[in-house]
Amino acid sequence: MENVMQGFAIVVCDRGYVFAGDCVIDESFCVIKNAKNIRRWGTTKGLGELINGPLANTVLDDYGTVRVPMRAVISIIDAVDSKWNA
């Protein structure tokens, strides 16, 4: 299978899960390596505020590698890797 997308992103999944990490996406799965679950956004203007990294009130949990079926992905937001891993 050919990769559809690859890079650092915030992935919004069904059932309220939101992850940030290094993504490799194909037709079937979104694999997120070094994933962080965004438990609390800590934003005042929505999730888009996190593209440049977590804010002071953002709460993250390390998750390792997460494999999400594409049918469970709601949206994918490109984010700045260097700002998240600073």
Q: What Cα–Cα distance (Å) separates residue 50 from each residue in 1, 21, 22? A: 31, 12, 15
Q: What is the pLDDT of residues 1-54, one digit of tens each?
A: 565 789 999 999 999 999 999 999 988 999 999 999 999 999 999 999 999 999
φ, ψ of residue 26 in degrees (nearest 5): -125, -165
Confidence of residue 85 (pLDDT cuts 50, 70, 90): confident
Global pTM reads 0.92
φ, ψ of residue 42 in degrees (nearest 5): 70, 25
Instruction: Set out the domains of the chain in order of their start, with CATH numbers.
Output: 5-84 (2.30.30.100)
DSSP H stretches of helix in the chain: 81-84
Instruction: Report yes or no: 9 and 18 within 8 Å, Cβ to Cβ.
Output: no
Instruction: Report yes or no: 30 and 9 within 8 Å, Cβ to Cβ.
Output: no
